[in-house]
Amino acid sequence: DQQVKQNSPSLSVQEGRISILNCDYTNSMFDYFLWYKKYPAEGPTFLISISSIKDKNEDGRFTVFLNKSAKHLSLHIVPSQPGDSAVYFCAARTDYGGSQGNLIFGKGTKLSVKP
Amino acid sequence: ETGVTQTPRHLVMGMTNKKSLKCEQHLGHNAMYWYKQSAKKPLELMFVYNFKEQTENNSVPSRFSPECPNSSHLFLHLHTLQPEDSALYLCASSQGQRGAVDNEQFFGPGTRLTVL
């Protein structure tokens, strides 16, 4: 039973347009959400995060939105660039119980930005 | 070397072999993690070490045996694996704080393991 779901395995976007990657979660105890980016043959690298007390966090071309009532977050990339082509993982964290700081990952969405 | 390194990058082994995966972090972190990524599945947490103590074993079969001799090194010893254990094994590290929660984990490039 997946607690973090990325229902779109792939997304293709034209260069310069907006990329929107979606993530849904089921556990209302999650208090922190992160997005990781992964290129082939490399490990995931941290991109941006958001605390559950906020609904938006922006860093340059990347913005993450959190809708707690819908248990949904999204990553917006604008404008999209060919170098953004990678797999994007959504991850959630909870600090309850004995699993302090452990991350639960989604399956990832492969973004392709076409020139 | 900077960041988190893993060796070997690729490993092919038979079901009767014994091998070890190595992870080293140069970030001064205190927490280290092993993850497994199988095809079309989410990253699955396997083990967590915080200040050299194992704090999480996510119901991993005993044919996987972790070892953390110090805060900078993490090993995953493998023996009598099954073909379904073929996957990408990722190591990560984080600051690690006693009694508090980390936010960001830094990942190594992974070891692509194939079990024949």
Q: What is the pLDDT of residues B57-90, one digit of tens each?
A: 888 999 999 999 998 999 999 999 999 999 999 9
- Write the DSSP string, chain B: --SEEEE-SEEEE-TT-EEEEEEEE-S--SEEEEEEE-TTS--EEEEEEETTEEEEE-S--TTEEEEEEETTEEEEEEES--GGG-EEEEEEEE---TTS-----EE---EEEEE-
CB contact under 8 A, A2 and B42: yes
Chain B residue numbers touching A4 (CB-CB < 8 A) = 42
- Please tell me which residue, A9 or A96, carries the higher pLDDT value: A9
CB contact under 8 A, A107 and B90: no
pLDDT for residue B54: 85
CB contact under 8 A, A34 and B94: no
pLDDT for residue B51: 84
Please give the mean pLDDT across all residues of chain B: 89
Average pLDDT in the B2-25 region? 93
Q: How near does any CA of chain A get to the CA of B107, in Å?
A: 5
User: Is the distance from CB of B68 to CB of B54 less than 8 angstroms?
Assistant: yes
Least confident of A22-26, B91-95, B109-113: B91-95
pLDDT at A99 over 60: no
pLDDT at A7 over 60: yes
